[in-house]
Amino acid sequence: MKRIGVFTSGGDAPGMNACIRAVVRAAVFNNLEVYGIKRGYSGMIKGEIFRMESSSVSNIVQRGGTILKSARSMEFMTKEGRQKAYEQLQEFGIEALIAIGGEGTFTGAKVFFEEFGIPTVGAPGTIDNDLYGTDYTIGYDTAVNTALDAIDKIRDTADSHDRVFFIEVMGRDSGYIAIPCAIGGGAETVMIPGTETTVDSIIKTIRSGWERSKTSSIIILSEGEIEGGATQVAARVKEQIPNMDGRVTILGHVQRGGAPSAFDRLLASQLGIACVEGLLEGRHNVMAGIINSKVEFTPFEQASKTKKLLSPIYTEMVKMLSV
Ligand code: F6P
């Protein structure tokens, strides 16, 4: 193997640049030629492919976003799209790929290998931390800290006005962002898919807080929870407690941007190197992850399809800590 390609795909995450840098530098270190592919599978189909040198990744370790840009490609979901992508890789002589992304990225890479035999090793790049086979994904730590910083600020104003805030965080259908935000932000309760928090239990929590002279309440909701998100839940609570002074904040894409934390820079660098070494060892169709401080490789199928369970201990902790 002489020539590899690297791309970022799906939702961007802080630390993706640090990972690209590590891939490029580890490739150069191992005498491989490395090509950057822009806009994920979309750019692969269109041939947005360029040679990268060590200097191409100077001064990016600290930057949020991704210099390779990212996209979610509908065309790559078709056989014709994947055929075009394969032809482009052939044109550039690219023999193997490193994909930095999440579930959709790895599902695509697996099908691509089955059809065209291009080996891919993946690095988990998503703020959601919802991939099995790694304790943490690249960008998760930064996203949680960004959200927590916003929640702390909201607490100040909530307290000044004796208000109840319903704060929605990202994380798709996993509660991985919601839980540390709830515990670290001193939330009164948290609503995530798969837990027993309901609109009625939120109402009880708010009322019992008032009975104990609490002046402000923070309710954290994960975007994928089944009751319909912060706006709907706040409206339903207001129907039952008309005197509640409630406000809704949806943190949204602010959680995806910003400079990566030290933790994410380290994780991204370690996983970028692991991906290159994985390819050199002849691995394919696997995601590099860190489990108990050790690099482990997990098949794409397992990484994206197996549910990474969140311990129920955390929701219990939120309850206990908000008495
Ligand atoms: O997967 C990362 C993520 O930010 C999710 O938390 C969120 O549901 C989704 O991407 C938002 O996607 P988009 O940027 O396409 O709106």
Q: From its phi and psi, is residue 168 left (phi > 0), alpha (psi between -120 and 50) or beta?
A: beta
Sheet order of strands, 164-169 included: 189-191, 217-222, 164-169, 246-250
- Which residue type is seen at 318? V
Q: How far is the CA of 145 from the centre of ligand 1 (A)?
A: 17
Can you give the pLDDT at residue 194? 82
Tell which atom from ligand 1 comes closest to the C-alpha of 224.
8
Q: How many CA atoms lie within 13 A of 276 on its CB side?
A: 27
Ligand 1, residues 73, 126, 172: which to mutate, most atoms within 8 A of Cβ? 172
Q: If you take atom 15 of ligand 1, which residue's CA is the nearest one? A: 11
**Which atom number of ligand 1 is nearest to the Cα of residue 177?**
6
Task: Find the catalytic residue in 128, 130, 141, 264.
Answer: 128
- Using the predicted structure, report yes or no on whether residue 256 has a pLDDT greater than 90: yes
The answer to whether the beta carbons of residues 23 and 8 sit under 8 Å apart is: no
Give residues with Cβ within 8 angstroms of 152, minimum separation 6. 185
Atom 13 (ligand 1): residue with closest C-alpha? 11
Neighbours of 184 (CB within 10 A): 14
Q: Which run of H or E residues covers position 44?
A: helix 40-46
pLDDT beyond 90 at 237: yes
CB proximity list for 84: less than 8 A, separation 6 or greater: 45, 75
The pLDDT of residue 133:
98
CB 127 near ligand 1, within 6 Å: yes
pLDDT per residue over 124-176, tens digit each? 999 999 999 999 999 999 999 999 999 999 999 999 999 999 999 999 988 99
Please state, for a pLDDT cut of 90, what percent of the chain lies above it.
93
* Length of the chain as a residue count: 323
Average pLDDT of span 26-53: 98
* Residue from 100, 142, 256, 308 whose mutation best tests the ligand 1 pocket (most atoms within 8 A of CB): 256
Nearest CA to 99 out of 6, 14, 23, 21 is that of 6
Convert 134-156 to b/e letters by CB count within 10 Å (16 or more is b): bebbbbbbbbbbbbbebbeebbe
Going from the Cα of 128 to the center of ligand 1, the distance in angstroms, rounded, reads 8
- Among protein residues, the one whose CA lies closest to atom 1 of ligand 1: 11
DSSP assignment, residue 129? Answer: -
Handedness of CA 56, 60, 61, 67 (dihedral sign): negative
Tell if the pTM clears 0.75, that is, is over it. yes
Domains and CATH numbers, the chain: 3-139+260-305 (3.40.50.450), 142-256 (3.40.50.460)
126 lines ligand 1 (CB under 6 A): yes
Q: Answer yes or no: is the C-beta of 130 below 6 A from any ligand 1 atom.
A: no
Expressed in angstroms and rounded, the spacing between residue 222 Cα and the centre of ligand 1 is 12
- CA 275 to chain CA centroid, Å, is 18
CA atoms of 284 and 108, how far apart (whole Å): 13
**Residue 297 amino acid letter:** F
Residue 54, amino acid: S
Distant-in-sequence contacts of 49-54, Cβ < 8 A, 24+ apart: 49/5, 49/88, 49/92, 49/94, 52/6, 52/24, 53/24, 53/28, 54/24, 54/25, 54/28
161 — phi, psi (to 5°)? -105, 5
Look over the chain and give the mean of its residue pLDDT values, rounded to a whole number: 96
pLDDT > 90? residue 195: no
Of all protein residues, whose CA lies closest to atom 8 belonging to ligand 1? 172
d(CA 225, ligand 1 centre) in Å: 14
Nearest CA to ligand 1 atom 14: 11
Does residue 4 carry a pLDDT above 90?
A: yes
Q: Indicate if 159 belongs to the active site.
A: no
